[in-house]
Amino acid sequence: MTGISARGQHGPSSPHSPGGPAARPARAAEDGSVTVRVPAKVNVQLAVGGLRPDGFHDLANVFLAVGLHDEITAVPAGAPGITVTVTGPDAGQVPLDRTNLAVRAAELLAARHGIEPRVRLHIAKDIPVAGGMAGGSADAAGALLACDALWDTGTSREELLDVCAELGSDVPFSLLGGAALGRGRGELLTPLDVGGTFHWVFAVADGGLSTPAVYRECDRLREVSGTGATVTDIPDPEPSRPLLGALAAGDAAALADALMAGGAGNDLQAAALSLRPSLADTLAAGARAGALAGLVSGSGPTTAFLAGSAGEAELLARALRDSGTCRTARVAASPAAGATLLTPARTPAPTAAPAPPGTASAHPPA
């Protein structure tokens, strides 16, 4: 397996550094706008190491991209700045300013190429918001690829991965898709073989969970248990070999066995359940309905259930919806492709001007 190193800072940095290259006008693609489709993810294993001195945790993170998608459209704008509009489920929960990772992705790409950004980003949401499925990270990867095509910057895949790593731990995988083992903070990726299609049901909860809050609760629970929470207390995280073997074989039953065995699954699940006890009811409902395995997806609160077939997934989703333990249940298969250009856009984005009410500008014109 070949490792892909996405180097970068541990957190976002401002692209407007003194002494940088002079800004030049961006060049729009000939067809005017660019749309990119990006997948959600499920962590079939999330092994969390101890708290590092820099405040992060080393991970052994087995990512699977799944067939729930957002679409990000980059539209050339006449005035300087980056504006954002959002449609779809829970669109009102998505920030429209530069706290949105998609805006920061466009900023970082423009800064790398000395471009004055002039773009409108439209995000058509279908990935649950703040649900532990990397929807914000996916939007960042999509904006990065869309703006690269729109501005004709010709950024290499290695450079794109570097920018992704600056934006966040899950963003590099959102760009690549498929299946991968994430090391470091999750940004150092090794692609994984998957020998077949896995069928999932995702039970979407009301509201979200803060990822930093879930990690803090994980540390607190470790301290309370007496194991300690730092890198000197917790063994280095390692992937489950039975789990990787089940993925490579395309064997859903073996994957379920690995997920339910000790040493696999999600080390953040106990913390998510501590902060949102009602998720235990959702997991129990999925088990009663015949799921092969169930776990909290990432930092939650979405819960993921493995089914034996597409038909079984549909029946499981119906049972979860009827259980009253979740807001809705979505069916998706994995693995799925990473960020993918769709040009021209399959559905029109709002026109570039004037911006409708509710649109925020991250770089308002002077």
Q: Which of 41, 58, 70, 139 is catalytic?
A: 41
In DSSP terms, which residues pair with 120 in a beta bridge? 75, 83
CA distances from 63 to 72, 244, 338 (A): 22, 11, 12
Q: CA torsion sign, 107 to 110 to 116 to 122?
A: negative
Q: Tokens standing for 123?
A: 């995000």
Give the whole-angstrom CA distance, residue 236 versus residue 60.
Answer: 9
What whole-number distance in Å separates Cα of residue 57 and Cα of residue 47? 10
**Residue of 102, 121, 85, 245 lying closest to 163 (CA atoms):** 102
- DSSP codes joined into one string, 140-171: HHHHHHHHHHHTT----HHHHHHHHHHH-TTH
What's phi and psi for 39, nearest 5 deg? -95, 160
Pairing of strands 81-87, 118-124: parallel
Whose CA is closest to 348, among 30, 38, 33? 33
SS3 category, 315: helix
Of the listed 90, 139, 170, 219, which one is catalytic? 170
Whether the bond between 172 and the residue before it is cis, its omega within 30 degrees of 0, is no
Mark whether 41 is an active-site residue. Answer: yes
Active-site annotation holds for 281? no
> Could you list the active site residues?
41, 170
